[in-house]
Chains A and B, each alone.
Chain A
Amino acid sequence: MGADTLISRRGFLKTGATAGAGLAIAFYLPSRVFQRLGQDAGAALEPNAWLHIGSDGVVTMMVDKSEMGQGVYTSLPMILAEELEVDWKSVRVEAPTNPAGWQRRMGTGGSSSIRGSYEMLRQTGAAARAMLVQAAALEWNVDASTCRAEHGMVVHVPTGRKLPYGKLADRAGTLPVPADPPLKDPKDFRLLGTRVARIDTPSKVNGSARFGIDVRVPGMLYASIERSPVIGGRVKRVDDARARSMPGVKRIVQLPGSPEEQQMARTASGVAVVADSYWHAYSARRALAIAWDEGENATLDSARISARLAELAAKPGVEARKEGRGSAALAGAARTIEATYEVPFLAHATMEPMNCTAHVRADGCDVWAPTQGQSGAQQVAMAITGLPPEKVRVHTTYLGGGFGRRSETDFVAEAVRLSKEVGAPVQVIWTREDDVRHDFYRPTTYNKFAAALDANGNPIAWTHRIVGPSISVSKGRPPRDGIDGSLVEGAANVPYEIPNILVEQTIADIPVPLGYWRSVGSSHNAVVTEAFFDEVARAAGKDPYELRRALLANHPRHLLVLDLAAEKAGWKTPLPTGRYRGIAVAEAFGSYVAEVAEISLADDGTPRVHRVVCAVDCGPVVNPDTIEAQMEGGIVYGLAAALTGEITLEHGRVQQGNFDAYPVLRMREMPAIEVYIVPSTEKQGGIGEPGVPPIAPAVCNAIFAATGKPVRSLPIIRNGKSRIAMG
């Protein structure tokens, strides 16, 4: 989810076709991208083409983003097809297989797929359209301005003559590419902004969609890996006599294969059983007797981590934002409010457990992976095999959920290493317990807040000290200026107009592997920020919605979604007895989302979320159904975490393993969700993640409204018992 996945700078268009090969158009990105990839900007034109139109009329689009449920195999072709004037269903989608030869780093994250591709795909489609029109004009010996492109054909308007793109593609491929092709006026859009049916849906209702775990390669073996139960522990001794004698077992291999791959891919140390079926591999794995060197993390536990964070919070941190006098403005205020908030580690728990298939040969390597990070996957495979990039192919399958987990490369490294060791294609499949216990977790944080009110109850100071481990440090890339942007996002950009603001950050050295979790820093910062805001509003004697409005006067996009959500939720109309509302708003990944949650509380304090009203402004809309689906998905993901999500450690071991100990939302807990999209021509934002941040604070604020006691620690329900104090 780094900035390198988001490229909005304009590049240039180039044709890569030779006569007779149809029309291929590549959109070349600025040279800095190529420099980073160590490539020549002009090299290897054709394989880089975003778009190819064959003389058979087949339109092929290379989609370099992973389809993990967010609809990108539909939305990106829609953008291209809009400008190209083709039936979008005729666009065939392919994924590039050599990330190093592709035009930008291949990875899907940061809610950046559409906003990072919109402009270049429109330009690519528009350039191809202009060239096809020009080719037809030459064919008919008429002026191009008398021709028009529609439905995959060029029409000569005065005579009604028509030629399909397939018949024009060869000639178009010989023409110069227009540098600045005219784009369609958005009022003429036929596709963009409409509810186009997703291309992947039919295959996802009949079992034919191919996920990573469904890859089948002739001669393929399966692997199951027992990894160190203690974070960072190592294999000391293995007794594999029993496992070795079990049916179907081919090889038993100790991992990692090298310290370099362990460092690069952050793999766990363990022992793999490779067998002729998954069940044989898994059964024999359970028969392994392994003695572990537990290492220095054997004493790591959640209570100590929490105490360490609280201790660090007593001292000032690094300033991430300062307005006015910062914390000095607290002194002498008419009233001050203080609180501490804690959020736990979280696992991703994608429905499809981690898996990868690799086939390493002397002359090349194929990797089939449900991955959000093809470039990283290729680099890891290159490092393990010693093969050059053009010999290492990464085949992207459908992803059974991603949420950030699949941007990691540990599961890829394991498959590549094992295939190399056994000399056959190997599919590594993780169990659910492997997946939950060997995740890269959303960081836990401890937050110390103070705010001040003037004599009229207006907030005049806001201070927030965030203490937590850093994803950047965990990835081996400590932040240069001491600020990990992902640890403070959603907090340092608190939008409220308060004259004195201080947001500080302290990075805690905690050796738990961390990674990006849907909405990253905003997933923990929005809940603590927006929940503490309601404490401030209550102290000021103000309605939390009205106080937000008052402090967002200069933030029109926040205000618009806040007002829309409040209006649709009926904020000003009373609720039936026993029902309560909470509201929250957040900007994340360039989009603005407000949510209102309506709840009731059972006698034992268990909350029930009945209804969630969501308003979103993400700028120009590609597919409204996808936006609604992503808001629904983000709300469910965030709600599950707020209600029951918690990873804890004891003796260096993650305590949760399966969906019994790490419960997620089920059908019965599902609220009715309404999504309202603000018509907007503002800057485009992302959609995969921004639905997550406001839900936890909206629910916490509703509970606060119900009980008068703020929810300062998540999850709300622990071990099946509500932590909400009633009465």
Chain B
Amino acid sequence: MGALAWGLMTGAAAPAASARDITDMAGTPSSVPDHPARIADLWFAHNELVLMLGGAPQIVMTVDRPQARPWMYQVFPVLYQAHAVNGPQVNAETLLRDRVDLVFVPEASATIAAFRAVGVPVLVSSFHDSDGLLRVVDMTATALGTDTARATAASYRAMMHDTVDNVRTRLADLPATARPRVVHIQSLHPLRVDGTDSIVDEWITLAGGVNAATGISGNMKPVSAEQVAAWNPDVIILGPDSGTLDQNADGGVWQRMAAVRAGRVYQNPSGVFPWDRYGSELPLQIRWAARTLHPDRFADVDMVAVTRDFYRTYFHYDLNAGDAARILAAQPPQAAPDGSR
């Protein structure tokens, strides 16, 4: 009872007393303050969108931790002031105590009813493909309510379309047989791959490849090494955090695969967020993947320059060439000389 009263009070005491209705990805409208000042972002992938749209100082609660996302904290050190929590099942009273006035969650779950009951607006922000990503970016920009956010969202959308068009044009005359069969491995122990109905599938296809994981639908599905051998992909892409591929494992099954024999096993880049999984660095991922799968058609693309450009424009961060190379190699930032952070 006291919490409810407190919630009503803090709701009423928000800087902008007026609010607008925003419909989230689950189709539910919520009344969001004009300029939310204290945001809780409870989905790993969504934080990056808020950061890109200039909402970094407003984030007071996040599920992304510096140990897991070192680049995110390097590029946006203001996040250190936020309260890092473990998962989307946050206690509603914790939100009130931190005076949160907007929450982003990955999906509609039982807990969000509790959030709404104490008067905290909740926006479900899940997406599964690039189109969904763009809609969530727009929704987030509207929620943040600043001109910067809206301008950035519009610019991002245009840039995404341009990137896709550009890649498509260069691959327009690619015959179906020239499309390499790609398996994207999310983790090695246990062995998990991504199938159709995932954003991974989408960028593989956009980049001129074919997802070799036939029969698999969805993200992070466990398979046996034998199954991967049966697919016999031309290219293997190892997601960040998947571990190192021991080619002698499983009795040498990996060594027999076309991808391993041809040396076409690549580490997927990972920056503020893993490029391959539902982050706003998707345009970078598409260009990197296209260049990796078809180096002849994308020889002029300088990934270091492209990355630095993106980080300057959308993260307002001056990334030096060395750091860009580390990001492309999925390596964390170099530790500072005095060992801090």
Q: Do A and B come from one complex?
A: no
Using a CB–CB cutoff of 8 Å, the interface residues on chain A facing chain B are: none
